Amino acid sequence: MRASDNPVRDFFLQQAELFTDEFYFEPPARQTDTETGGLTGAVPEPLDWEELETRVRDCQKCALARTRTQVVFGAGNRNAGLLLIGEAPGQQEDLQGEPFVGRAGQLLDRILAAIQLGRQEVYIANILKCRPPNNRTPSSAEIENCEPYLLRQIELIQPALIVCLGLTAAQTLLRVETNLRDLRGNVYNYHGVDLVVTYHPAALLRNMGLKKYAWEDFQNIQKLYKAKSGSQ
Ligand code: URA
């Protein structure tokens, strides 16, 4: 396969070559939900935003569908250069249907403001679209079911920079088990897109000592993002 100027698409095309029945660029025959007896673990077809959102809102792939109040699809600018990825909705997010609207979200807003960014300029999503009961850590099965939705979001957004907020996002996307302290401070190549890792804002609320490291990370994020987007 020849490399194009769209590395994210190249990645998915390559995956489609390797895993023809599972990946979603022009599958030989599209199985409907009825044919599969409801949604299976298969990655969705090349859905547009509206189709993807409907698919996610109707998702019944795992038991979180029974305990959620609302699906938290993601929010922000769909043409954003910067994509922030958290773990999963918490209580407030589940109630309001928006990512990062609780205490951690308010801290995230302040951090973004400190680097001259507002929510309308970035896109914010989570690894899971539904709240795990009592905010427990997502299971690997839940992540496996839900990650394809995020991958499609990444493909649609084509961000210049991805920021993983916390260990779940970082370990999921990078396919590693490394701890956060070792993951931060590096720029990873996520299928052609720069990706950095920093602490989850909830971790900063629990441990004030981490704030100075997070501040270093966000200053670096600001620099990288400016360099990528050519903005001031
Ligand atoms: N924590 C997350 O990881 N995501 C949210 O949307 C809220 C809290």
More confident residue, 231 or 84: 84
**Residues of the chain with pLDDT > 90: what percent?**
78
Which amino acid is residue 151, in one-letter code?
A: L
Question: Within a domain: residue 218?
Answer: yes
**Total structural domains in the chain?**
1
Q: Which of 64, 71, 83, 87 to mutate to test the pocket of ligand 1 (most atoms within 8 A of CB)?
A: 87
**Least confident among 5-14, 81-90, 174-183:** 5-14
More confident residue, 231 or 133: 133
Q: Which of 70, 85, 95, 126 to mutate to test the pocket of ligand 1 (most atoms within 8 A of CB)?
A: 126
| Atom in ligand 1 nearest the alpha carbon of residue 99 | 6
Range 31-58 average pLDDT:
65
Question: Within a domain: residue 1?
Answer: no
Radius of gyration of the CA atoms of the chain, in A: 17
pLDDT number for residue 97: 98
* In the predicted structure, residue 215 carries a pLDDT above the cut 80: yes
What CATH number has the domain bearing residue 118?
Answer: 3.40.470.10
| Atom in ligand 1 nearest the alpha carbon of residue 127 | 3
Q: Which of 147, 140, 124, 149 is nearest to 58 (CA)?
A: 149
Burial per residue of 192-212, b for 16 or more beta-carbon CB atoms within 10 angstroms, e otherwise:
ebbbbbbbbbbbbeeeeebee
> Measured in angstroms, how far is the CA atom of residue 74 from the centroid of ligand 1?
10
Range 190-195 average pLDDT:
95
* In the predicted structure, residue 230 carries a pLDDT above the cut 70: yes
> Measured in angstroms, how far is the CA atom of residue 229 from the centroid of ligand 1?
26
Question: Within a domain: residue 92?
Answer: yes
* In the predicted structure, residue 36 carries a pLDDT above the cut 80: no
pLDDT number for residue 93: 98
| Whether the Cβ atoms of residue 95 and residue 135 lie closer than 8 Å to each other | no
Q: Which of 93, 134, 172 to mutate to test the pocket of ligand 1 (most atoms within 8 A of CB)?
A: 93
| Atom in ligand 1 nearest the alpha carbon of residue 104 | 8
Ligand 1: which residues within 6 Å by Cβ?
86-90, 93, 99-100, 102, 104-105, 126, 202
Neighbouring CB atoms inside 10 A of 12's CB total 21
Question: Within a domain: residue 187?
Answer: yes
153-183 pLDDT, tens per residue? 999 999 999 999 999 999 999 999 999 999 9
Q: Residue 84 is part of which domain span?
A: 7-229
The protein residue with its alpha carbon nearest to ligand 1, atom 7, reads: 100
